Structures are given as structure tokens and as C-alpha cells.
């Protein structure tokens, strides 16, 4: 998606350690007009799928999931990190390793909000090593629901997550795939799609 690639080139900052900072428009400050265009593009990419619900994970996936949901006319469910006293009843749970925070989270979703009749689009802002996505896929499978696809804003194509997910046979669409980046020159190369 050229609009997103251009924005990453303009406002993204490449840091040592394969860190791409996009917190000026994607995951701290959020450019809602851009989100709306990304939501429209997810709808175009998955127009042929009978999606009735979007699943994401807190926190930075929630914004793009909600804006995208307007284009699909469906509700959003966000998976929660760690147990809360306000989630009662039974939950599906999985464990997710966070590279960013260097710890393992328990991630849960109420059994009330995903079930065997659901056709789920998973949306998240970033895909790197794929741990968060594998956890979300695990939750959907636990519920016996159908995964219609996965929509990602930015995929780090030089990390393994995209390959792992695609090998599972899940349809994965990333709006921008970073093939390589250089923290000395700031150069970012995107995969041709």
C-alpha cells in the first residue's frame, strides 16, 4: 500500500536492533485518516471472505481494528493480556512471548465472544516474529471458529513471522512489508507486492 509505505519512509525511524519506530502515526499517536485508508484496503483485500468479526490484541491493534471494522460492518473483540477481575466466566487462553517487553503474557478471550459460527479476520499493527499472531490463531482454533484471514499494517519481512504464518496456510495480507532497513542511513526497502 503505497500511502503507508510513503508514510513509513517519511515518518518512520530506523533504530539499531531492527527497531522501526512508527509511533508518530501508528502505535502511540494514531493518524486516524491513515487508519481509515488502511481499513478500506483491508476490506478490498478480504472482500471475498464472509467475515463477521474482527479479532485483535491489546493495545496497539485496537485502533486499526476498530476503524477497519467500520468498513466490514462487524464488531471487534480484543484479546486481553493477563486475567482481569472484570472478565468472568470461562475464557480461552494462550501464552504469548513479547519481544518488545521481554516477557511472556497470558492472553485471554471470553468464550462468549468467539464461537464455532464465527468467521474471523485477525488484525494487528505489526508482524515481526509472529508470536502474537500465533497466540491469536491458537485462541480462534480453541473456539472452533474459522480464520478467514489476517491483516497486518507493517510486516518485518526479514523476520520469520510472515513465513511461519503463511506456511500454516492462513491467508496473510500485510499492507507494507519491510524487506530490509539500515539504521545508519535510515534507508527502508519494501517488498514488491
Nearer to a second copy, 66 or 176 (CB): 66
Of 13-21, 41-49, 169-177, 185-193: span binding a second copy (CB under 8 A): 13-21
Q: Cβ 68 to a second copy, closest distance in Å?
A: 9
Query: Terminus-to-terminus CA distance in the chain, angstroms?
Result: 9
Phi-psi domain of 18 (left: phi exceeds 0; alpha: psi -120 through 50; beta: other): left
Nearer to a second copy, 74 or 168 (CB): 74
Of 27-35, 131-139, 165-173, 175-183: span binding a second copy (CB under 8 A): 27-35
d(CA 8, CA 38): 13
When asked if residue 7 is in the footprint of a second copy (CB under 8 A), the reply is: no
* Candidate list 70, 93, 146, 180; residue touching a second copy; CB under 8 A: 70
Hey, what's the cell of 141? Answer: 482454533
Hey, what's the cell of 144? Answer: 472452533
47 DSSP assignment: T
For the chain, give the number of residues: 193
Consecutive H or E run containing 40: helix 32-45
Nearer to a second copy, 69 or 127 (CB): 69
Residues 112-151 that bind a second copy (CB under 8 A): 112-113
Cβ contact 154:8 at 8 Å = yes
- CA 24, distance to chain mean position in Å, is 18
When asked if residue 18 is in the footprint of a second copy (CB under 8 A), the reply is: no
Q: Cβ 139 to a second copy, closest distance in Å?
A: 13
When asked if residue 103 is in the footprint of a second copy (CB under 8 A), the reply is: no
Buried b (16+ CB within 10 A) or exposed e, 159-191: bebbebbeeeebebbbbbbbeebeeeeeebebe
When asked if residue 183 is in the footprint of a second copy (CB under 8 A), the reply is: no
User: Under the rule (CB under 8 A), what is the footprint of a second copy?
Assistant: 15, 19, 21, 23-25, 27-33, 35-36, 58-60, 62-63, 65-67, 69-70, 73-78, 80, 82, 84-88, 100-102, 109-110, 112-113
Amino acid at each position: 500500500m503505497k500511502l503507508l509505505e510513503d508514510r513509513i519512509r517519511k515518518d518512520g525511524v530506523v533504530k539499531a536492533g531492527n527497531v522501526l519506530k512508527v509511533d508518530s502515526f501508528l502505535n502511540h499517536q494514531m493518524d486516524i485518516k491513515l487508519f481509515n485508508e488502511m481499513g478500506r484496503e483491508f476490506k478490498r483485500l478480504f472482500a471475498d471472505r464472509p467475515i463477521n468479526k474482527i479479532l485483535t490484541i491489546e493495545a496497539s491493534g485496537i485502533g486499526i481494528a476498530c476503524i477497519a471494522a467500520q468498513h466490514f460492518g462487524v464488531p471487534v473483540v480484543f484479546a486481553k493480556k493477563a486475567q482481569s477481575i472484570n472478565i468472568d466466566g470461562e475464557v480461552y487462553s494462550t501464552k504469548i512471548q513479547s519481544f518488545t517487553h521481554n516477557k511472556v503474557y497470558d492472553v485471554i478471550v471470553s468464550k462468549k465472544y468467539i464461537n464455532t459460527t464465527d468467521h474471523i479476520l485477525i488484525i494487528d499493527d505489526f508482524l515481526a516474529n509472529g508470536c502474537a499472531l500465533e497466540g491469536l490463531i491458537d485462541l480462534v482454533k480453541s473456539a472452533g471458529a474459522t480464520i478467514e484471514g489476517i491483516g497486518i499494517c507493517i510486516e518485518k519481512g526479514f523476520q520469520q513471522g510472515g513465513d511461519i504464518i503463511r506456511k500454516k496456510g492462513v491467508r496473510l495480507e500485510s499492507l507494507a512489508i519491510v524487506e530490509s532497513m539500515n539504521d545508519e542511513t535510515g534507508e527502508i526497502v519494501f517488498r514488491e507486492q
